[in-house]
Structure 1
Amino acid sequence: MPDATRGPATRVPPGQRLFVRFYLALLASLLTAAVLFGLAHLRFDPVRAGLAIVGPRMHAMGFVVLLVAIALVVAAGAYPVVRRLTRRLERLQRSVEAWGDGQLATRVAVEGEDEVARLAASFNGAAARIEALVGAQKSLLANASHELRSPLARIRMAAELMAGQAAPAIQAELRRNVAELDQLIDEVLLASRLDAVGAVTSPPEEVDLTGLLAEECARVGATLQAGAHGMMGDPKLLRRMVRNLVENAVRYGAGSKVEVRLAAAGPAALRLDVCDGGPGIPESERERVFEPFYRVPGASETAGGVGLGLALVRQIARRHGGDAQCLPNGAGGCCFRVTLPRAR
């Protein structure tokens, strides 16, 4: 999916496009040369063989028609050359934008041997190297996370075996740390799968989003205001998105009431708001909270969480054609808003 933070590509006005400006400049130079040629011709060769027959006015009109015809012929001949050059630049621009949106396999066709072709070849080489580096990083992260499950299972088993020998406070702390590590591994694996462009996912199903919200709200004691709404998507991913949102609100809401609202936002979209009355998030941090492993300054690690929950929320929303953002709550605290497509 395309990154919603970038926004749609700005449409360049026709008069500002490279091929139009280049083409008009060429036409202007040719027309100027033709006019100067005509003026010189009239100034230095005013009498011609046919002048006495057709008259000066007809002669001048015929000369103007001839100049216009020459200009049209030159314009028609120059257009394919100019357009071919600028069309290659436009293809390069579209490829760079697609690559910047996360489609790292994007490459540009190398046509010709000029500067544009060399630029396309340089882009392809750089894109291939970066794709390989990112792929190696994702593979390493996924494999390391997977391999950590075995020692984690042994730690959990050892903790259960020594449950009767350790102090209750030590047992509670050990269970909390094991649960946090288990959550971290699970979310890193999920983030790695979602980050892989073109990764195979389950076929979309019709999801009762209202029912899913009701279950998750009942689990944490949040209030829900929603009509009957559904959408097409992956039910497991959508449940993880909702769970991360409500758990984040409970964790950082300072004991305030968590409110969840689901409503239509036009004929083709749904708007999900999860709000709390906690200390809120400064405006300068509202975009950064969606970065992996980022914590708002002052957030206590004892509250739990591994810093991946909101990053997963945005990834899942975008995977379904929506987006997520952090907004201030009018009554204090903050609201996380997710927009999603409605079921058709």
Structure 2
Amino acid sequence: MTASPVSPPVIDVHAHAITADAFRALARETPSIGLRLTDIDDRSLILAIGGVVQNPFPRSAMDLDLRFADLALAGIDLQVISPSPHFFLYDEPAAVTAATSAIVNDELVALARAHPDRFLVLGTVPLQDPAAAVAELERIMRQDCVRGVIVGTNIHGANLDSPGLEPFWEAAAALGAFILVHPHKIAGGDRMTSYYLKNVIGNPLETTIAAGCLLYSGVLDRYPALKVCLSHGGGFLPYQSGRFRHGWNVRPQDRGRATGGLDAGLGRLLYDTILHDEANLQFLVDQAGPARVMLGSDYPFDMGTLEGVRQVRRLPIGEEAKGALLRGTAERLLAKSPVAALA
């Protein structure tokens, strides 16, 4: 009897995880962050950390039985897991964040080693201290399962074009690290206290600000092999790229340090698929091409989705393009190669 062919794995590049051991170690080793967990029900907790309260915080962030059941329903085989933004802690003393980053990273590595066919890892680094961030990046990238890091859209209010971050971008490019840019501590939050606008509008706005700073500052020009993925479909950037281009043309005095032109930078940015709408996803794929778009779920949070695989498969694009979105592009860009990464 001929064996049935094995389908290539579906890869989710944007998913969050933590472990119970990490919570225990954080509470023990870094008490100043005020970590507390309060039970709600069999699916939810309340998380308090670093002055931030997440209610609810899903148990499936650390419960593997719940996670694997959900992934089976979603049709996802392998997740690139990263800490949720609650663990960035950029406003804590750098030494504290360096300690919390190491704890969280080591626990995610242990989880991936225990389930090598299910998980790869994006770690977190103390970006308020770029030298310490580079040291932690170099340390964790020695682990086979670690493919890069997740970073916030701002560093305690400083944008990603901060000159102090230059050593970090240089190191990330040299190491072939995949960088997932994720919103947190949003701009204009005082005007978005109602209707869940902090997430619905605030998160994509934050990502758009971060993208604009990376584009205009020339970071993407100086490090053309840098692999930067914008979460949640790129915020508002892909849908306002014409406005970005128009501003570039009419205000040359405001072009910043981007010497390669705006389109060169735009052509280097990467995106996940978390848009909750197939027409919007189709637009993103048309704009960026399947070589720069990858499946993401934002698991296990309520603004994520378990429908991403089915949405991709319903798109009116060829099977090769669908394969790129579901695995091929991720496989290529998660490789630890700094050379011609986006060629």
Q: TM-score range by the shorter chain?
A: under 0.3
Q: Considering fraction of residues, name the structure with more helix.
A: 1
TM-score when normalising by structure 1: 0.23
Q: Considering fraction of residues, name the structure with more strand.
A: 2
State which structure, 1 or 2, has the greater radius of gyration over its C-alpha atoms. 1
TM-score when normalising by structure 2: 0.23
